[in-house]
Chains A and B, each alone.
Chain A
Amino acid sequence: MFRYLARAAAPAESAQRILGSARAASGSSAPANSDGKLWKITLRRSPLGLHPRIRENARVLGLTRCGHTVYRPVSNELAGMIIKVKEIVKVELVDRAEPLKQQAPDGFQIIGRLNPQIAPGSKAAKPLLPLRRQPRAGSS
């Protein structure tokens, strides 16, 4: 009855290997006619309340929150993981990954800092406030 609820997929360490190298892994597993195609996998339902193995499969696929979309190479191992989570997932076959949304550029550019001790990427490195009104030409 529950024959397709089979044993767990690959553990986390080898899953990183599978996800990292799309075609280089020996013995796996890209089918012949896939030609570098990708699966666009979207997590439609939360895995809360489901069996821990199903939740592990969702995590290993890279699906961390509801609505999360990831692009994964077509391979036999990932097919098994998707089958485990097929009730909560939407899958499309695509040619390339869509680029992530780029953040809109700020309307200002930081040209310098008054305090040289603030590191550029730190929390204290807030954007510069607009400079005070410059002294009029001619006055000291």
Chain B
Amino acid sequence: MFGSFVGAFRPSLAVLGGKEWRIPWRLSKTRKANVRKRLREVDSVIDTLVASGVECKQLDLIRDLPREHEMLPRDKYTTFSRTASKHRKGVHKVPHFTKRAIPRTTPAGF
């Protein structure tokens, strides 16, 4: 009746005038390409630090992480979630996911 089933907004019951942005459950091809690009940029930062020859405990922890082309797609575009069903959710649902460190591996058993 009120509230349409098309468009950017999903109708919410609040006064029947409430609108919520639709958030797709998965990333589009463009967003996935940008996720891969950002992962490669982080890889190049780590490569530069390794090439500098510094000794750093944090560097030792991250230098053995999988690179972008070694990661599983589900690790690139989704992330572990304690609360979501199947303990998995799209990485775009993490606030500031474009400039935050997202784990490159899934916890054991999930």
Are A and B physically bound partners? yes
B107 within 8 A of A: yes
Contacting residues, chain B, for A86 (C-beta < 8 A): 42, 45-46, 101
B42 near A93 (CB under 8 angstroms)?
no
Contact of B58 among A6, A32, A92 (CB under 8 A): A6
What CA separation (Å) do A89 and B42 show in the bound complex? 8
Q: Decide: B54 and A79 in contact? CB cutoff 8 A.
A: yes
Q: Is the CB of A76 within 8 A of B54?
A: yes
Would you call A80 and B56 a contact (CB within 8 A)? yes
- Kindly list chain B residues whose C-beta atoms are within 8 Å of the C-beta of A37: 52
Q: Which of A61-118 contact B (CB under 8 A)?
A: 74-76, 79-80, 82-84, 86-93
Main secondary structure of the interface of A (DSSP, over half): loop
Contact A32:B53 (CB < 8 A) given known A90-B41, A92-B48: yes
Q: A2: shortest Cβ distance to chain B, in Å?
A: 7
Within 8 Å by CB of B80, from A1, A34, A79, A89, lies A1
Interface size on B, as a range, is 20 to 34
Nearest CB in chain B: distance from A44 CB, A: 8
B8 beta carbon closer than 8 Å to chain A: no
Contact check, A87 vs B55: say whether CB atoms are below 8 A apart: no
Q: CA separation between A32 and B53, bound complex, in Å?
A: 8
Residue on A nearest B106 in the bound complex, by CB: A1
Q: Which residues of B contact A45 (CB under 8 A)?
A: 98-99
Can you sample 28 A-B contacts with CB below 8 Å? A1-B103, A2-B101, A2-B103, A3-B61, A4-B58, A6-B58, A6-B61, A34-B52, A39-B52, A49-B95, A49-B96, A50-B99, A50-B100, A74-B52, A74-B53, A74-B54, A76-B54, A76-B55, A76-B56, A79-B52, A79-B58, A83-B56, A83-B58, A86-B42, A86-B46, A90-B41, A91-B48, A93-B52
Q: Which residues of B contact A (CB under 8 A)?
A: 38, 41-42, 45-46, 48-49, 51-59, 61-62, 65, 80, 95-96, 98-101, 103, 105, 107
Residues of A with Cβ closer than 8 Å to B?
A: 1-6, 29, 31-34, 37, 39, 44-47, 49-50, 74-76, 79-80, 82-84, 86-93
